[in-house]
Amino acid sequence: MSLSPGTRLGPYEVIAPLGAGGMGEVYRARDTKLGRDIALKILPETFARDSDRVARFEREARTLASLNHPAIAQIYGLEDAAIVMELVDGEDLSVRIARGPIPLDEALAIARPIVDALEAAHDAGIVHRDLKPANIKLRGDGSVKVLDFGLAKAGPVGGTAMGSALTSPTITSPAALTMGGVILGTAAYMAPEQAKGRPVDKRADIWAFGCVLYEMVTGRRPFEGEDVTDTIAAVVSKEPDWTRVPAPLLRLIQSCLQKDPKRRLRDIGDAWSLMTEERGSPAPTRSTSWVPWTIAAVFALVAAAFGMLVMRRVEPIAPLVQFQLPIVEEAGAMPGALMSPDGQRIAYSSGNHMWIRHLGTLAARPVPEGDPIVVQPFWSADSRYLFMSSDGALKRTDEGGGPAQTICKLPGVLSGGFTDGDRVVFATVPGGIFTAPLAGGTPVSLFPPMGAYSLRNGALLPDHDHFVFMFGHPAEDKRGIYVTSLSRHEPPKRLLPDVSAVAYMPRPLGSSGSLILMRGGSLIAQPFDPRRLELVGESRRVVESVGGFSTSANGSIVYRAASPGRRLTWMDRQGNTLGTVGAPDQYLEVALSHDGAAAAVVRYEALSPPSTWVFDLARESSRRLAVLAIKPVWSADGREIVVATRDASAGSTTIDLVRMPQDGHGAPQRIVGGKLFVAARDISTDGKWLMYVQADPKTTKEDLWVISLLPGEQKPEPYLVTDYSETDGMFSPDGRFVAYVSNETGTYELYVRSFPVSAGGKWRISSGGGYQPRWRRDGKELLFFTADGRMMSTDVTVSPAFRAGIPRTLFRAPVFGGGASVTNHYWDLSPDGQRFLINTTEVNDASAMLTVVMNWNGADDLATAGR
């Protein structure tokens, strides 16, 4: 939470903000009881609402408060989810280093209290884990203070992992997970074992101290790179320039910077004795003889001649680095993430936000965007912008922040894209593949809408003309992965039969590369020659059980382990689990029959279009009703189900609403349809009216229409056609009102209108977002979901006039297995209004983590590489 000057937390009065970090905001405040200035570190609101996290936060703070040492910034206490800390004035060490190398005597005077502070912390069983110049303060009186032991974690300090992340999270890590495999800290000061995501102990602090000392006396970091990838590669594989280090400190710094922790200086307290001994040692004499220079010159000439004979230069290959990142709870259970082309950032989405995680920082941050419905985002080639579908348009937002810019209206549902020069190329379903100027403009079709195109993952080839993409089609011999040209009018060439996101990854040496895709739940590398546009070898399974992936242009991959699937779960009005239906699977929409005896469920199957299934809840059996059918709605008498379906014939883009006998016996009957997208929403209790959504591909906004189901009266009529999007229309039990969702305020909220509209009356129900409304059978209650997974209830009166109460939270839908909040809360209400059948997402420990692999050249098995 943000605090303004004058705000009081107990006896502490806020004076001014000091800064912000992964664990919240820090303020200068006045202790009115003791009459001294202090620092307040405020726990973020998302944490403060979690009692378990607050309790762990307080336990960690008490542990850190035990560090009573003159060179450690003191913790005074806790106050309303805030840490009360010693206020340390002065410049930090990074500012001093920026002015140039520090003379040896001055550097040793700074280093000694740092050693003493670390020794005291290690003796108390605490490891700092983020020691760097920015966390070291130089006070005006000459004293030194080590700050921000917030990455420290209490536990044994031997050569083992630092304990369970579930019982001892870090104070400044917003993910509250620091188990083995998770990178925390700043790349330039990470020990190699920390950069590889392995368990760390106090020797990681010793490494960081060596880095800080090196930087103090040389004015340069020992391990540097143009980006995070290069820096981590240098930490793992390269040696510092030892010629820059003053001779008295060479042995000490080399002992601290041993890449093998077993060979590293074991105890930080030994560092001071090494410094004392080395100060009295003479510097190594430097030869002034011409002989070494002559020998060196001869060898240089020989090396040059050899290079000319070989006629090629062998570049060193950066080592493979593999680590894991926890996904913040707000990020939901999406199947994958998007790595930027430069390999520096990862973006992933939830039902509420897009999040960006810089690999060199500790926390993910949300990307501001008004519309919570974000579909298939993708990065620009320069990694500066993130493109996404929002509010029916293709938009881009600067990854550094700022308002989103509209590129163009979307002619369909976005399914990925990429940029090249001053244009963006994107695909929609249905619609085709389009291009538009980056500055904004009207999209131009590159390919006609012959099926479901997907550009999930940027797949532009090195010639900046050809690209690979996925083409979905009902016909098995047509769907697959294709390659085609942006400039030439040549038919797309089918490369593989797989229906998968696809990316191209070049090899560091040579001109060939690999297509990266998913097959049977595994990540696959398929050798590919981008010049001849041909496969050049056998495909190989790289890692198994993958739920989603993305690649960068510099050879990095991010992937997420597959989750167990979705579970149809019965819950009561308190959110307690009452039972489940069937096994976990890839379920989407769910609709209960009016008698509660059956459920119509949409299920996705590998390499197949979505299909609608009917579950007999009493017999616990299921059968498929229709292929390529979504959005099921039961008829009033329960004998039929209306679905949205598309003709499976080649090239068809017609979408129809059809009614099918629910027992599977009898021919389907077309109700309405055509070239526009339509989806059924509800049928009135008297069986007369079908409410459906119709989306115009030219504007992409949704409108609510109705059509009579009585014989001879099937004529479509607009119900709500406005400048905004309206969806999720549901008839009240008496047929006099419709609950629906609209974005007329800029966010999707729940409303109620009279039916027909001419009867007058409109009421707004929600104030913080609302989706998927359901009426209780007696019409006295309206229920809906919020975007963050809360089931809301509103008492209503429909006679003689409509009146609604204030919505209240019944429960928050959980994710079984823990680790993230629920998105896509497809659900329905039992006839008695006491139970909810909710499509929840199961998450295990593996699927709650993102695995990042840097410098992968296509030759390693990611399941074993880096071990």
For 732-797, list the strands marked E by DSSP: 737-742, 749-754, 762-764, 771-775, 781-785, 790-797
Whether 130 is catalytic is yes
Q: Which of 116, 130, 703, 828 is catalytic?
A: 130
Closest to 331 (Cα-Cα) out of 371, 363, 361? 363
* Tokens 């995501």 -> residue: 197
Q: Are 543 and 522 in contact (CB under 8 A)?
A: yes
Q: What span, in angstroms and rounded, lies between the C-alpha atoms of 692 and 676? A: 12
Asked whether the CA dihedral 843, 846, 849, 853 is positive or negative, the reply is: negative
Torsion of CA 215, 219, 220, 221, to 10 degrees: 20
Q: Are 162 and 200 in contact (CB under 8 A)?
A: yes
Task: Classify burial at 263, counting beta carbons within 10 Å of its beta carbon; exposed 0-12, middle 13-18, buried 19 or more.
Answer: exposed
Q: What span, in angstroms and rounded, lies between the C-alpha atoms of 263 and 257? A: 9
Tell me how far the alpha carbon of residue 40 is from its chain's centroid.
30
The DSSP code for 793 is: E
Q: What span, in angstroms and rounded, lies between the C-alpha atoms of 517 and 482? A: 12
Q: Are strands 577-585 and 737-742 parallel, antiparallel or unpaired?
A: unpaired
% helix, strand, coil for the chain, step of 5: 15, 40, 45
Q: Are 770 and 783 in contact (CB under 8 A)?
A: no
Question: In the beta sheet, which residues pair with residue 852?
Answer: 323, 558
CB atoms within 10 A of CB 570: 16
Q: What span, in angstroms and rounded, lies between the C-alpha atoms of 706 and 65? A: 66
Q: Are 114 and 138 in contact (CB under 8 A)?
A: no
Q: Are 814 and 838 in contact (CB under 8 A)?
A: no
210 backbone dihedrals φ, ψ, rounded to 5°:
-60, -40
Give exposure, 437-451, as e/b (b: 16+ Cβ within 10 Å). Answer: ebeeeebeebbebbb
Q: What span, in angstroms and rounded, lies between the C-alpha atoms of 320 and 864? A: 11
Task: Classify burial at 628, counting beta carbons within 10 Å of its beta carbon; exposed 0-12, middle 13-18, buried 19 or more.
Answer: middle
Q: Are strands 375-379 and 385-390 parallel, antiparallel or unpaired?
A: antiparallel
Question: Under 8 Å CB-to-CB from 614, ≥6 apart: which residues?
Answer: 598, 599, 600, 601, 622, 623, 625, 641, 662, 664
- Which residue type, as a one-letter code, is found at position 702? E
For 359-460, list the strands marked E by DSSP: 364-367, 375-379, 385-390, 393-398, 405-409, 413-420, 423-429, 432-437, 444-447, 452-454
Active site residues: 130
